[in-house]
Structure 1
């Protein structure tokens, strides 16, 4: 696997992304929320910087979800019928990274969207 061409490396990466999108419910939720956030940003006339913040925080959540999925797969592969406490801990920590990135994303969303919506309503 180490001696793959650049094209083969990209193909493997794309296959991984396709797999996660097909098989993981949470990544679908994150992608839908990202699309909704960007669409709402269009209606609220976000600046370039505001769009960049939405894209970066959304990407952070999606990236951590992909890494979480990879960690879960490796841990599941390495674990027998009896779940080792470190295996559970590894999965919990990875899930915690997703949760933390999602919480940061919500904070950024509140800071960006609420003032714009209040401005429209007042």
Structure 2
């Protein structure tokens, strides 16, 4: 039993570390907001479970991205194009998971709130995802590597 509690302690330490990461906190805030909206509008159980799944999927992907970045930094502390590609691909995995979650979340929420067909939410989600993807794709300068 002692090993189990020690494992829980290590997991709690990891979670505390993740809570210091800006992107992880952003994902948590968005997830909490979406889940709160789901509670307020009294979503059906299955729809709420989809929102819960999407929220946790994105948060888990963000945590995996952090692990990949930290391992890459340890193994290659100086700039290397291969490490940049590794980090960029890891970040794109989070982006894809987030995009899917936006599509699922908007299809559920727009259908429930505005009583529109779920495809309207997906279309609206596609517009949002394309806008933010374009913003990231065409961003010039700034930011730290």
Deviation at 1:80, TM superposition (A): 3.5
1:1-23 CA deviation, whole Å, 9 max, x = no partner? xxx922222211111111111x2
- How far apart, CA to CA, are the structure 2 residues paired with 1:14 and 1:115? 37
- Runs (4+) of structure 1 moved beyond 2 Å? none
Q: Which residue of 2 aligns with 1:20?
A: 18
How many residues align? The count is 115
Corresponding residue for residue 5 of structure 1: 3
Distance, in Å, in 2 between the alignment partners of 1:14 and 1:66 is: 13
Backbone CA RMSD of aligned residues: 1.6
Structure 1: any 5+ residue segments left out of the alignment? none
TM-score by length of 2: 0.74
* Cα distance, 1:80–1:34 mapped onto 2, change above 3 Å: closer
Residue equivalent to 1:92: 88
Q: Does 1:42 align with 2:23?
A: no
